[in-house]
Amino acid sequence: MARTGTGTLLSRRNVKLDSFLKRNTERTVYERIRVHEPCVVQSDSVNKVFMHVVLSDERVYLTEYPPRTLTVAVSFGRVRDIELVNDLPDFLSEKDRERCQHIRIVYIVEKSQIKGRDWLTGGRGEELPPVAPPLHRMSPVITLTSEGFFLVSLSSLDLDQKEEEPLPTLKSTRSASCPNPETLGLWSIPHPPGLHPPFSSPPSPPQRSPEKLHSQGSRRIGFMLNRLLRRDRLDTREEMEAELHLYAVSHTSTIYLHLQSAWNSFLIRSTLLLDPRYSRRCGGSTDAALPSIGWERTAHLLGQLTSELLQDGINLETLYLLLQELRAAAERSVELRLLFWRCGELCVFLVGTLEDCLGDRRSLGGGSTADQLLLSTLIVQTLAVMFRETEVEAARINLLSAKKGALASRLLLALVSGPEPRTADRESEVQGFLEEYQDAACWLLFEMLLLGYETSRSPSTDSNRLTVAWILRVLQPHPHLLSFVSHQAQQVVLVLSDLQDSALSPTRSVLLFQRCRLLLACLQHNKQLADHLRSHFREEFRYCVKPSCAEVKLPPHFPISRLTVRLVDGVLAAILKT
């Protein structure tokens, strides 16, 4: 689903439900809704009821069919796993059974919340936001599959059923909609923060020295003690697992992909909010609380900025300052990011400027190297921001895939042409700028791979789609691809070995997650890259990379930590595979 400049849905297959959501949700809730789909729902208090599943970037909502009330089923902050179950539900008819997607959501709830729940308020007196006028924004997201891949919510698919969609045939005699909403007793969870990824330059990881061995060893023991104490605190709160089962009865359903996407995006954004610099840059508030200046005003400001960037004879300093302004505005405004893709001229300009910076290696020597690296890093960071939460914008995929993916190919090839300063520069500050560029390049390539997972699962027969395999196939002949991938692998080894004992920052934790995603994509989708990683890094991963180090270095209160530890196990298994 996507929105036009006035905030209306481009795909409005269920007008009644959308109208109901506008009337019965607050603006900050409605603007975050990205898809809704009919499913058969089952939980500890709902027994196979046909309902609408309404998905935002932070929660799963449920409403009857037809809609009468709305409640929070689960917050992504409580989710521990989302998976597809390979079974044939016996309560469905034979036809519906064969096309059904059974999705199981495992989440954590406190035992104290079990009693006293009802349809509208849930435990601890938490209520749904009051009615408010229609919204003007929608926030799309990222994705993870059971195989360890990321997917992205799809932009132009028919995600909603027709307004008069027939109910699936159930073997039981229960009504298709709940006769008494108060009997459902679903969870109502606090509203978690929403945010966007920071692209400030993260600090270089501290190096270990012999004089600090004792103090670092003490800190490591402290990390373990903190982890044990946290586990004990969780036990004292008597948390328990609960399950929510969704049965999507359409073979074209994308609800599972959207759930995975929203959950993983939530984990990333919630982790990044813990970075003080990011929090200060974003005003220390959630995205929902940031005031919106409206589509027309945003379009006007973006037009002014675009005109200044595209002016003839612009000097390097002015270009850098204008790009800083563009990136900062994009981090705060999803409307601006959506409009960026509709104004393809600016994206083409940024790709061309990146090619100019990195294409001629003779221009990267001497005193100009630092300036070129700083500008290249800022361009890559800006483009990466523009990818965030714009999956449902059809103009994005249309622009990148036009002319058999010409623009996407240029961007990919420029991205891994990462500058290689002269040997004399490697001991200077230029080396630090180079590492910052490599971090930013990993982030943008990660976003490109998300686009690849999106198109890989879309129902299209176009052989020129920007799939993950297509992305890696475009990069494969590039002379610097192997060195680029090797650098990413070396950073994972460095972080997950005993060479560093310090805990990771929020930004570095997310970067580790992204690097592992990138490595896993290479290992599973490209034989040449898989062979290279196994031949050059098998022993380092076997003897230096320790999953226990990931558990120590990833603070347990970081939302991304649990999933990253699982991902490290997956990368380790893939690279040691014989």
pTM: 0.74
Q: May I ask the CATH class of domain 1-168+236-291?
A: mainly beta
> What SS3 class is residue 27?
helix
**In the structure encoding, which two tokens stand for residue 24, read together?**
């019965």
Are the beta carbons of 506 and 557 closer than 8 angstroms? Answer: no
> What SS3 class is residue 402?
helix
Segments of the chain with pLDDT less than 70: 1-13, 28, 31, 111-237, 282-292, 360-368, 418-428, 457-464, 499-501
pLDDT tens digits along 4-63:
333 333 344 688 898 999 888 887 677 678 889 999 999 988 899 999 999 988 899 999
Are the beta carbons of 117 and 187 closer than 8 angstroms? Answer: yes
Residue 555 is given by DSSP the state -
**H helix intervals, 189-291:** 213-236, 255-272, 276-281
Q: What angle do CA 409, 140, 397 make, to 5 degrees?
A: 25
pLDDT tens digits along 86-97:
998 989 988 888
The Cα–Cα gap between 523 and 529 comes to: 7
Whether the bond between 66 and the residue before it is cis, its omega within 30 degrees of 0, is yes
Look at residue 111 in the predicted model and tell me its pLDDT.
65
- Distances in Å between the Cα of 6 and the Cα atoms of 275, 305, 393, 452, 529 are 33, 22, 14, 29, 45
